[in-house]
Every structure is written in structure tokens, then in C-alpha cells.
Structure 1
Amino acid sequence: MMADPNEKLQFNPQVQIITVSYQGVIKKTDTSLFSWSIGDSIYDLHPFFEILKTLDKTTTTYEALNFPCIHLEEGHFEKICDLTIQPNAKEITIYVYDYTDKYKEVNRIAQEKNESILLAKKLELKNKYLLEKEEFKNSFIANINHEIRTPLTSILGFVEVLEKTQLTFEQEELSRIIKRESLHLNALIDDMVDIAKIESGTLKIAEERFSFQDLINGFRETYSKTAQEKGLIFETHVDTHIQEYLIGDRTRVYQILNNVLNNAFKFTEKGEITFTVSKNYQRSNKLSLTFKIEDTGSGILEEDMLYLFERFTRFNNDPQISGNGLGLAIVNNLVRLLNGDIKVKSIPDQGTIFHIKLPFTFEILKSQVPQKRKKYSLPDHKKKFRILLVEDEEITQFLIMKVLISQGSYFVDVAIDGEQAIEYIEKRQYDLILMDLIVSKIDGYKATRMIRNNYGDSFISEVPIIGFSATADDGVRDKCLRSGMDDFIAKPFEQEELLYKIVKQIAKKAAV
């Protein structure tokens, strides 16, 4: 009995075996994968099989040829197959293995892997971008901080000089306006720097002993004058059982309360503002205080309360009311950093109430005597004291020279960079050096280290050095002291503070 020429050659549904002549005519096949028939030309079924024309039937060696991942179509269907072609002297056998599902799964896995790699790369690039953005922002703020504070130092300094001259009433008023707006600009810079520090996590919280009574009295005195000017009533109520001296970050507490009080006065045109301080609890040497600031001002709309502590948010568009939208954002962040709590209630056109809770500690002492600032005076000296000013800004040079020379006790030489400062100290003996930190060629830090370490002459190596800069954070101050400087003062500075530090260092050197 003759076998059916179209019978299947095997029974694996994933494999099809085809036998063709060297002319490309199908001699045997099953139809498990493709419905190809005996007598069909293999060359007409798929262009890939044109490769069979290159096979040589006269050769004495017949090696199998393997071809992975070949896409074979039949109508609208496509299969991804591995092919093995085995020639011999009479015919060619083609083994077709259907790996469609496997290749699709591998492709899916590869695609997922690629997507995962791309996502990781995207996150890496995003993180790099955010880091670079943060670095640029911090660098930009630091640069703006320095570039603005330097001219501000001169403006405020010359206003102080001007105030000590004979001025008409109109000139005094103009002088006050210049000073007020300059201080406002300085406060704006402080806010920008603080926000940047808070966001980068570099803002340090201090633990220092301070006079709580002096802090409150300062607010009472300052805002009583403001209330009088605006025709408002300002009342303060302070729990008398609160310790006179507390331990905490006085600067940040002042910043929080001052911002809220300032807002209360800013948005209140009539009525009163009440500042109340009460004790929540006291356990051992720890206590918690609540600061309540209540006004009868314009209030805040309910829909605006959600955005109250966001940066650059202002709810009052009155151009007469100044503000940068940073104050309450800083307040909120500082309260959190101090482990405190802040709540706000407000009714439009009736007023706003802030409740701020802050923790403190205190020393348990029988008596707490305030530490008064030590007084210093210049030593008896027939000649004037010679000071070297290292500063590259001409206007700042002029200001400091005018302030010092007006005292009648100083000669002043000016060096425009650290290299010139080194040359000067080798030629002339100085009683003190005022060293700007950011000058060309050799900066203030390096120049100080050279003075301290490179000279055996004590008149040079032990000269008092006061650093000054527009950057006023603790890191700069610490770096100054580590480099060998004796003190630091930030721009803009008050003339009295500058003169106090100069006298202090000269007096301490003379006492050694």
C-alpha cells in the first residue's frame, strides 16, 4: 500500500519538516505550521529560501545550517521560527521550529528590561538635573547675596555718616527713607538665604542662653512706636512666671515673632494688635510657651488659608503694602525646625489670630545675672594706630577710611588684594588688619594663613586680623577663625560694631 505523499512526517505541532529538491520543489512536508503542499516551489513561498540556490549538491561534506529568529508569513499570520537546513546528495531537508511565543516573551522581557533601564537612567538624569539645579540656585543666591550686600554696606554706612552731620528736616527725612529701604532690601536678602538654607537642610539651629525679657521688651518698644505712628492700640501680656533667661535659638525665635507681628501691623489699619505670651507646661528644666498674636486687620479668605505658608504668596494686591511673600513660609519652616507648632484662625475683614507653640529649656539657678558686654578702650599711645584695610571695592574702602579717620586715632593703608596685603605687611608694621574674605590673587583665608605661618617676626605673625564678608552664616565665621583670624564682622555692619571689634582686638593685643 503506497503512503499518502502529504502525510505528516512527525507529530510535534511546533515543528514542520520539509524536504525539497535542489530545484526548490517541495517533495515531502507536513502541515503543522504552514499549509505548504507537495509540488509547490519553496522559492515562491518566502524570499528567505532563495538561500537554497547557493547550496552545492556535488560537495562531499554536508553541514547543517542554522538560522535563528526568521519571520515567516502566511496570509495575515506571522511566525518567528528557527530554521535548520540539512543538505545531502539528493535533496534538502528543512526543519522549521516555531518559537513565536518564546521570542515574544523574550522580547517582552527585553523590552521591560530596556524600559527599566531607561526609567533608571531617566531618574538618574532627573536626580543629576535636580542636584545641578540646587547647586546653581545656591551658587546664584550666594553670589547675589555677596554682590548686593557689598553696595548695601556702603549705602547704610554713608547714611550713618550723613546722620551725624548738620541736616535740614527734609534731608533727615530723606536719609531715614534711604536707610529704611536699604534695611528692607537687606531683610529680603536674608529671607532668600534662609529659604535656600532651609530647603537644602543646611540651616543650623543654635542652643544659646538669652534674655527672654529683653527679647519681649524689644518687641514692646519697637511695635509701640509703630502702633503710635499708625494710630493703633498695641498691648502685650506676658506670663510673669516665665523664666528671665531661656535656652534656645534666639535669632530664629525673634525671626518668627517679628515676621508675624510685622504682618499684623502691615494688614491692620484700625483697631488693635495684642501680643500674648503664656506658659503651656514646665517639667524639670523644660517648658513650652504659646505666643498669641491677634489683630483686627483685613483677615484671610478661607480659600487662601491653604496657601498661607507657601513661598512668594501674597493675598493683598495693595501696592502700598510691601512684601515679598517669603515671611510666613520662613515662619512655618522655622517653627517646624524648632519642633514647635503653628495654627492660624482668620475671619475676612475682622482679623487674624496666630498661635505659635515653641519649646525651650532653662538653667535651674538661684540667681541668673545677665552677661554684660565687656568694655574695651585703646591703650595709651602717643601715635595713631595703623590699620591695613584689604578690600577691592572702592566705595567700601572710602567708607571704612572715613569712619576710622574720623575717630582721630587711626592711619589707614589700603591693599586691593591678598598679594598686595602680604607685600605691605613685609614693609610696614600694622596694629590690625581688616581682611575682606573674597579678594583676587590671594583670598582673605589664604592670606591670613600665610601671615600666621610664614613669618618668624611676631609683629607680623601675631597681628590682629578681623575678617569681613557679605556672607554671614556660621560656616563662614568658623572658617575665618580656623584660618587664624581673631574675629569676623558681616556686611552690612554698623559703625559702632566695627569700631568695637577694632578697639577690642587692639586692646587684647596690647594686654598680652
Structure 2
Amino acid sequence: MTYQEDKLLFDKKTQFLLVALDGVIKETDKNLFSWDIGTSIYDAHPFFEIIKNFIEDATHEEVTYNFPCIHLEEGAIEKILDITIKVSLQEVVIILFDYTVKYQEVNKIAQQKNQSILKAKELKLKNKYLLEKEKFKNSFIANINHEIRTPLTGILGFVEVLQKTQLNFEQEELTRIIKRQSKHLNAIIDDMLDISKIETGNLKIIKERFRFTKLIEGFKETYTALAKEKGIKFETYIDPNIQEYLIGDRTRIFQILNNVLTNAFKFTEEGIIKLSVSKNYQRSNKLSISFKIEDTGFGIQKEDLTNIFDRFTRYNNDKSISGTGLGLAIVKNLIDLLHGDIKVSSIPEKGTTFDIKLPFNFEVRKTTPEKKKKQYKLPDTKKRYRILAVEDEESTQFLIMKILIGQGNFFIDVAINGKDAINYLERRNYDLVLMDLQLKDQDGYKITSMIRKNYGDKVISEVPIIGFTARATESERDKCLKSGMDDFIAKPFEQEDFIYKIVKQIAKKAAS
């Protein structure tokens, strides 16, 4: 634009008025409003009545008054103005600046800001609702976990007892099916809990030194046997340049590989499954390892690859193949927590390949022989040891009695609440107490605390106590030990582990 064009554009947005002290308009350019010369400014708009006060207060010095964002109308004309009024003893000068567009834009921004604030408040309320909903969901899952694990303990326990009796071929097969399906149900519960922990940020990554090569050898042994049952092949390869001992979260790495391998075996009916482990790179004491799991199974359709890691997603609709659709969602979340990466490629009817990269650390140190699980024996195998089971579930009571009496070395008493437990302990000497953590009258922690603190008699106060619960978490285990218990058994349990822990505590107490 030229200077004259700029000036003209500016002139069209301003109007100057020269007004006599009696309010009569002496001069005006009529750029904005068509007020005539000789008319009163007070008739133009009520706003200008304010000038009368300014004239009364006038002095020898000119005084300027500024008024922003004033709405003036004349017929159909409506404008938003900044108004400057200069008052002296001789005359009044009024300057109108048309900022209608500017103020409309500002008002629009203000409205958008208000809407943004309202949306933010709405979002905050929604988030509060979602958090409360999530809290309820996690509480529900935790309670369901406990309620399911308790009867599941009885099912698995009695199946193991039944398997040790004289069964014909058909009965053996039926018990195997019951045990397999029960373990599958237990795995589903574990998956639900893991997803819940991941979503709430309660799943902790624990880095420790472990024998990496043994972890892979364990997969080789387990899945070679499974492959033989299915009539397929399973091959493993591990890069010889990978250190024997690495630092990482062994439990989560096992969980990742186990879930992907389990999926591969589910969807492969013939051919081969391969697990290849190789080193990507090594810098200082850090290295990256690649895990490739290949199968010749059903494969995954291209459109399903994008949501394969979503919860409750199954990429095969064969209902005969069991699964919750949580396994790969857990895998993806765990890999993200470990700062790793996972990619999947597949050809329908040809097979699927999972590529997983995970970071590790390692220490250069002399290899020490791996500690073997210490074996314990009862001090006197001819003696019968008395055990108090504090348990209010009838089926679990019967299971404990069946397992321990079958060993031939134990007497069992059962208390169904804390009051009975204390009465038993005061009347008899016990070699060990199995303490359920969730009883109807009071929890096992309080009963344990009473036993440890309220008795001067060491036979009572120092009796070995093993916590017994369906809440199979690390935090629950830590809580047991802090409350004064000597060990922890999670429901459902393997009978071998159950007996081992009981014998261990009795043997340790006898040796002290």
C-alpha cells in the first residue's frame, strides 16, 4: 500500500469532532457517524453526557480522558470504540477510534478461552470419574483374585492327591485335564492382575544379576517336551558371544518370552518353532539382545497386525484354542517398561515372526557356582510334629489335613478364627503354625503380632509361622515377613513346595 492508501485506511477508522463548551458540534469529518454540525453532542449518544462534568472541572491546562471499548450505535450502525476526549477552557476535542474488528476478535479469543476452561473442568471431572472407576475395577479384580484362588487351591490340591492314588488310564487322563484347565484358570488370574498393576503403575522392574543362559536352556527343555507332544519341532539358538550372567529383570523377561512362545505353540499345528537369541551390540557394560521367535502356524491377517497388542484381542477365531487376549498386551507393556522394542510380521497360513529387542547390563566378574536349593530334613523322622492350621475355608482345611497326614509325620489341629488359634496355642505346644491372612474375625497379621508380642513363653512367641494367602503378590509377602511371620505360601500351591517350606521352618527352629 502507498502512504496515501494507508492514511485513507486509517482515516476511515477514526472520526474527529470539535465541540463547543455548550455541547454544539462545530466541526466533524463524519467518517464513522453522520452527526451534523450545529447539533448537540449530548443528543448523539448518552455516553457524552460525561463531558459536562469534565467542562465544570476544566482548568487552564488541557486534560485528556481515555475510554476503551465503548459501544456506540446510530441506527443500524454499531461500533466498538476507543474514545479520547481533550478538554480545555476554550473547546472540547473528541477522537473516535474504530476497534470493532479488534474487540470482536478479542471477544472471540476470550470465548474460546472460556470454552477451553470449561472443557478442562469437564475433562477434570471425567478424569476423576475414570480414576474412581479404575480404582473400583482394580479393587474388584483384587477381590475376585482372592475369591477364585481359594477354591482353585482346593481343586488343584485334591487333583494332586487324587493322582497319587490307584487310578485306571481313563481316570488318570481326566485328572490331567482337570489339572491343566485349573492351571490355565490360574494363569488367567495372573494375567488380569499383571494388566491391573501395569495400568496403575504398581508393577516394579527389578534389576538383578542372573544366569541368562540357564533361562534360555529352561525354555529349550520345557518347549522341546511340548513340541514332542504336539508332533512338531522346536529349535533354539543362542549366540555364544552373549555373557553367561546378565543384569535385568529375570521374571519379566521370562514372562515376555513365555507368553510369545505360548502363543506360537497355540497357533502352530505342524512344522517348526524357532527361538533365536543374538547380540545386537555391546557398549561398555551395556548390551542389546535380540530374541526372534518364528513359527509355521496359522499366521495373522494384515488388518489384524495393527491391534495385535490391544487387550482382549485375539487374532484367531478358533474357539477351541484357549486364551484371554491379554498375553500380547502384557508383553507389549512389559517391553515398554524395560525400554525395549517389539515388531511382528506374518503371512497368513505360512507363519508369524516376533522380533524383540531388550537392553541388559553385565558385570565382569569371576563366575561363581550357582547355589543349589538347600535341602532340609525333619530332625527326627520317627516323631510326629504338631501343626496348627488357622484357616476358615473347609475345603482348604481338609486339603491341608489330607496332604500332611499323608506324609506320616504330622498331627493337625484346625482353628477357624483368631480366638480359637490363641486358645489352641495356650493349651498345646506346636511345631509350626499355618496362618491364613484373611479370616472372618481378624486378619492373620494381627494374630501373628499378638503371638510375637504378648507372650513371655518362647514356645508360643517363637513358634514358626507361615503366612497362607490367595493374594500372591510381593507386597503381601513383604507384609507377612514384616509382621513377624517366617515364610509365605501363595494359593494355589504345589504340594512339593508346601511340604518343603514346612520342613524347612521346623528344621531351622530345631537347629536354633
Q: One fold, TM greater than 0.5?
A: yes
The answer (yes or no) to whether the contact 1:419–1:442 under 8 Å persists in 2 is no
Supply the AA of the counterpart residue of 1:164: K
1 CA distance for matches of 2:23 and 2:453?
94
Cα deviation 1:113-158 (Å, max 9, x = unaligned)? 8756644542332232122112101101101111111111111111
User: Which residue matches 1:482?
Assistant: 482
Residues 304-313 or 116-125, more deviating: 116-125
Pairing 1:65-80 to 2, within 5 Å after superposition: none
User: Which residue matches 2:471?
Assistant: 471
**1:202 maps to 2:202:** yes
User: Which residue matches 2:57?
Assistant: none
User: Shift of the alpha carbon at 1:109?
Assistant: 10
1 CA distance for matches of 2:442 and 2:317?
48
User: Which residue matches 2:432?
Assistant: 432
User: Which residue matches 1:321?
Assistant: 321
Cα distance change on mapping 1:382 and 1:225 into 2, 3 Å: closer
1 CA distance for matches of 2:107 and 2:426?
76
User: Which residue matches 1:422?
Assistant: 422
Cα deviation 1:353-384 (Å, max 9, x = unaligned)? 11111222334233331110001111127542
User: Shift of the alpha carbon at 1:313?
Assistant: 0.7
| Structure 1 segments of 4+ aligned residues over 6 angstroms from their partners | 73-79, 104-114
User: Which residue matches 1:187?
Assistant: 187
RMSD across aligned positions (CA):
3.2
Supply the AA of the counterpart residue of 1:453: K
**1:357 maps to 2:357:** yes
The answer (yes or no) to whether the contact 2:384–2:410 under 8 Å persists in 1 is yes
Supply the AA of the counterpart residue of 1:406: G
The answer (yes or no) to whether the contact 1:9–1:30 under 8 Å persists in 2 is no
Supply the AA of the counterpart residue of 2:354: F
2 CA distance for matches of 1:9 and 1:107?
37
User: Shift of the alpha carbon at 1:331?
Assistant: 0.7
1 CA distance for matches of 2:194 and 2:486?
26
2 CA distance for matches of 1:203 and 1:213?
25
Cα distance change on mapping 1:78 and 1:408 into 2, 3 Å: same
Supply the AA of the counterpart residue of 1:310: D
The answer (yes or no) to whether the contact 2:382–2:409 under 8 Å persists in 1 is no
User: Which residue matches 2:286?
Assistant: 286
2 CA distance for matches of 1:108 and 1:351?
58
Secondary structure at 2:220 match in 1:
helix
The answer (yes or no) to whether the contact 1:159–1:175 under 8 Å persists in 2 is yes
Cα distance change on mapping 1:461 and 1:231 into 2, 3 Å: same
User: Shift of the alpha carbon at 1:29?
Assistant: 12
User: Shift of the alpha carbon at 1:108?
Assistant: 8.9
1 CA distance for matches of 2:105 and 2:213?
75
Cα deviation 1:43-89 (Å, max 9, x = unaligned)? xxxxxxxxxxxxxxxxxxxxxxxxxxxxxx9999999xxxxxxxxxx
User: Which residue matches 1:38?
Assistant: none
1 CA distance for matches of 2:241 and 2:310?
36
The answer (yes or no) to whether the contact 2:389–2:415 under 8 Å persists in 1 is yes
1 CA distance for matches of 2:365 and 2:74?
97
2 CA distance for matches of 1:236 and 1:382?
48
User: Which residue matches 1:441?
Assistant: 441
Unaligned residue ranges in structure 2 (runs of 5+): 1-20, 29-39, 47-72, 80-99
User: Which residue matches 2:44?
Assistant: 32
User: Shift of the alpha carbon at 1:244?
Assistant: 2.9
User: Which residue matches 1:413?
Assistant: 413
User: Shift of the alpha carbon at 1:397?
Assistant: 0.7
Cα distance change on mapping 1:301 and 1:109 into 2, 3 Å: closer
Secondary structure at 1:282 match in 2:
strand
User: Shift of the alpha carbon at 1:484?
Assistant: 0.8
User: Which residue matches 2:452?
Assistant: 452
Supply the AA of the counterpart residue of 1:32: A
Pairing 1:67-466 to 2, within 5 Å after superposition: 118-380=118-380, 383-466=383-466
1 CA distance for matches of 2:444 and 2:159?
27
The percentage of counterpart residues that share the same residue type is 69
Cα distance change on mapping 1:411 and 1:303 into 2, 3 Å: same
The answer (yes or no) to whether the contact 2:146–2:471 under 8 Å persists in 1 is yes
1 CA distance for matches of 2:77 and 2:420?
85
Secondary structure at 2:44 match in 1:
coil
User: Which residue matches 2:16?
Assistant: none
2 CA distance for matches of 1:274 and 1:348?
18
User: Which residue matches 1:93?
Assistant: none
The answer (yes or no) to whether the contact 1:245–1:368 under 8 Å persists in 2 is no
User: Which residue matches 1:62?
Assistant: none
User: Shift of the alpha carbon at 1:183?
Assistant: 0.6
Cα deviation 1:28-47 (Å, max 9, x = unaligned)? 9964349xxxxxxxxxxxxx
User: Shift of the alpha carbon at 1:10?
Assistant: 4.4
Secondary structure at 1:353 match in 2:
strand
Residues 142-151 or 282-291, more deviating: 282-291
User: Shift of the alpha carbon at 1:215?
Assistant: 2.0
User: Shift of the alpha carbon at 1:287?
Assistant: 2.9
1 CA distance for matches of 2:308 and 2:106?
53
User: Shift of the alpha carbon at 1:105?
Assistant: 12
Cα distance change on mapping 1:30 and 1:340 into 2, 3 Å: closer
Secondary structure at 1:498 match in 2:
helix
2 CA distance for matches of 1:105 and 1:307?
44
Cα distance change on mapping 1:501 and 1:366 into 2, 3 Å: same
1 CA distance for matches of 2:150 and 2:169?
29
Cα deviation 1:392-414 (Å, max 9, x = unaligned)? 11101110111011111111111
2 CA distance for matches of 1:119 and 1:506?
64
Supply the AA of the counterpart residue of 2:469: S
The alignment covers a number of residue pairs equal to 438
Supply the AA of the counterpart residue of 1:279: K
The answer (yes or no) to whether the contact 1:388–1:433 under 8 Å persists in 2 is yes
User: Shift of the alpha carbon at 1:11?
Assistant: 6.3
User: Shift of the alpha carbon at 1:430?
Assistant: 1.2
User: Shift of the alpha carbon at 1:419?
Assistant: 2.9
User: Which residue matches 2:66?
Assistant: none
Cα deviation 1:302-344 (Å, max 9, x = unaligned)? 2211101111111211111111111111111111112221111
The answer (yes or no) to whether the contact 1:389–1:435 under 8 Å persists in 2 is yes
Cα distance change on mapping 1:130 and 1:11 into 2, 3 Å: farther
Secondary structure at 1:268 match in 2:
coil
Task: Give the TM-score normalised by the residue count of structure 1.
Answer: 0.78
Residues 439-448 or 501-510, more deviating: 439-448
2 CA distance for matches of 1:424 and 1:74?
99
Residues 134-143 or 233-242, more deviating: 233-242
2 CA distance for matches of 1:332 and 1:11?
82
User: Which residue matches 1:84?
Assistant: none
2 CA distance for matches of 1:33 and 1:112?
32
The answer (yes or no) to whether the contact 2:335–2:342 under 8 Å persists in 1 is yes
